[in-house]
Amino acid sequence: MYNNGVGSWLHRRRPKSGPKAALIAGERTYSYDELSERADRLANALRRRGVARGDRVAYLGENDPAFVETFFAAGILGAIFIPLNTRLAAPELQFQLQDSGARLLVNGAALEELAAAAAEGTGVLNRLVVGGSPAVAHDAAPAASAPGSPPVVGRGVEAYEEALASAPAEVIDEAVTHDDGAMILYTSGTTGRPKGALLTHGNITWNCINVITDMDVNRNDIALMISPLFHVASLDMGLLPMLLKGATVVLEQKFDPARVLAAIEKHRITALSGVPTTYQLLAEHPDWATTDISSLDKLTCGGSAVPMRVLEAYEERGLGFSNGYGMTETAPGATTLPVWRSREKAGSSGLPQFFTDIRIVDPIGQVLGPGEVGEIQIAGPNVIREYWNRSDATRESYADGIWFKSGDMGYRDEEGFLFVSDRLKDMIISGGENIYPAEVEALIVELDEVASVAVIGVPDDKWGEVPKAIVTLREGATLTQDQVAKHLDGRLARYKIPKSVVFVEEMPRTASGKIRKAELRKQYAG
């Protein structure tokens, strides 16, 4: 094949695993034969609607086979896939569609109103609606009369399944290399302006090879996806390595502890990935003690360290966790903590993944020795080479043109195990979701009453941490927490809205006027 990227994976896997179950969604099972054919049909449908090599195709919806099909169909065409976070507000999604230049959006019917609002005023020419007939269908693009006909580009809304049914299952073999862009994932920066991390086909492939190598993924695995696939960890650490290896993936649209426990028992799930909160909710559910989870042998956890009480609950059932560290820009794996050393190396994020390198440097770039705290820098074929249309951010993010500057602080012990000690960029991780304070602060300070604001993360039993806003008001002004929340509602995802607001007379500041967030955390994070 000329296609050496992710778009070729189903074609290459099909003769090896054709009738085997690839995806299970509800009562529906998709074999590798069927999944490959549907991806081919969708690729032809997208091509007939004007999608070509290098174009951007976005997806907005819950976990669904259509997400997987859209990812692979884009790869078949050499187009770039953009998974959108369903928890974002319309203006946030609209920015990502505009910034990426997406020309087609696939969305779930349940999110039709949000999708329509987000696409308004962008370059999106067509939308395909999954799971129901679209309420609005105007100027829909008709299918080309025969293969090879010029693409007909329309501005319309169509039913996803109808688009697939009218397209041929012809195999498209577009020349795609590992250096070509495969996916754009948006990650906010310290300035509050989201950046699109451009993952190449090579980044995704090498990340999956790392996962398969370090976590012993095999064709007999049955993995349950309980986290949204629009998260890079769920997609690149969970689903894709499994499909690359010929395993089976069970999709859950939303996390519900009772449903997850029932699915583990029903499908004999072997692999599960999530964040500490999801594992805690499973262990605290009334069905936990009576559910047969004996099939499980791979538990991976990211986002933050597993609390000891959660670790012990799973150890009582004969299970351990493989913890790890990474970020969107590393596609996303950087380190993995082997299960058999999870107790001995408690608090560690593990060793560098097989084809990834880690170093710790001081402020002038000198490599530090064991036990010395500095910035964590990462290199390897899984690390992105650029941000989408952000050459400035790309230049600032690399040392020596090779090492990605994580912005996180940590150290390595004598055996090379990584310990993350602080987040230099002040990022908050709430239930596995990244929250960048600057993005929230920029909206709060729009209120006329606000003189200054700082958003910090504070501990939370359920979510790990949640955002808290510390606000100073202009002289004579009054403001309430409810008014702040109302101002943010609809403009930010709900999980980003501060769960509490503290009003203070003045902020602790450095000599240069910068707010001392470390001091605020010390005072208000209790």
CA-CA distance, 52 to 55, in Å (whole number)?
6
pLDDT > 70? residue 192: no
Q: What is the pLDDT of residue 153?
A: 43
- The answer, yes or no, to whether residue 417 has pLDDT greater than 80, is yes
Hey, which bits of 26-146 come out as E strands? 28-31, 56-60, 80-84, 104-108, 126-130
Q: Which residue has the higher pLDDT, 294 or 517?
A: 294
| Range list of H helices, 235-291 | 240-245, 257-267, 276-284
Lowest-pLDDT choice from 29-43, 228-242, 411-425: 411-425
Residue 182 inside a domain? The answer is: no
Instruction: Indicate the residue among 122, 145, 176 that finishes a domain.
Output: 176
Taking alpha carbons only, the member of 16, 119, 107, 93 closest to residue 59 is 107
Domain end among 120, 141, 176: 176
Q: Is residue 134 part of a domain?
A: yes
Residue 398, domain member (yes or no): no
pLDDT of 144 reads 41
Give Cβ neighbours of residue 247 (< 8 Å, ≥ 6 apart).
Answer: 217, 218, 219, 220, 221, 222, 223, 271
φ and ψ at residue 125, rounded to 5 degrees: -95, -30
- What is the phi-psi region of residue 389: left when phi exceeds 0, alpha when psi lies from -120 to 50, beta otherwise? left
Residue 329 domain-assigned (yes or no) = no
Within 376-421, where are the H helices? 391-396
Q: pTM here?
A: 0.86
Please write the tens of the pLDDT for every residue from 427-439.
Answer: 888 988 888 888 8
Helix, strand, or coil (residue 167): coil
Residue 142 scores a pLDDT above 60: no
Count of the separate structural domains present in the chain: 2
Does residue 168 form part of some domain?
yes
CA–CA gap between residue 229 and residue 245 (Å, rounded): 18
Question: Domain range holding 443?
Answer: 428-524
Mean pLDDT of the chain: 91
pLDDT, tens only, 296-321 = 999 998 776 777 778 889 999 999 98
Predicted confidence at residue 250, as pLDDT, reads 98
* Beta-sheet pairing, 80-84 with 322-326: unpaired
Task: Assign residue 500 the CATH number of its domain.
Answer: 3.30.300.30
| pLDDT confidence band for 277 (50 / 70 / 90) | confident
Assigned domain for 300 exists: no
Residues belonging to the chain: 526
Query: Percentage of the chain surpassing pLDDT 90?
Result: 77
CB atoms within 10 A of CB 495: 18
In a domain, 261, yes or no: no
CATH, residue 55: 3.40.50.12780
In a domain, 299, yes or no: no
Q: What is the pLDDT of residue 189?
A: 53
CA 332-10-147 angle, to 5 degrees, is 120
Rounded Cα–Cα distance for residues 475 and 460 (Å): 33
225-252: average pLDDT: 96
pLDDT confidence of residue 155: 53
Domain boundary among 161, 176, 191: 176
The pLDDT value recorded for residue 136 is 45
pLDDT at 13 > cutoff 60: yes
Give the Å distances, CA to CA, from 252 to 117, 244, 263, 352, 465.
26, 20, 9, 30, 25
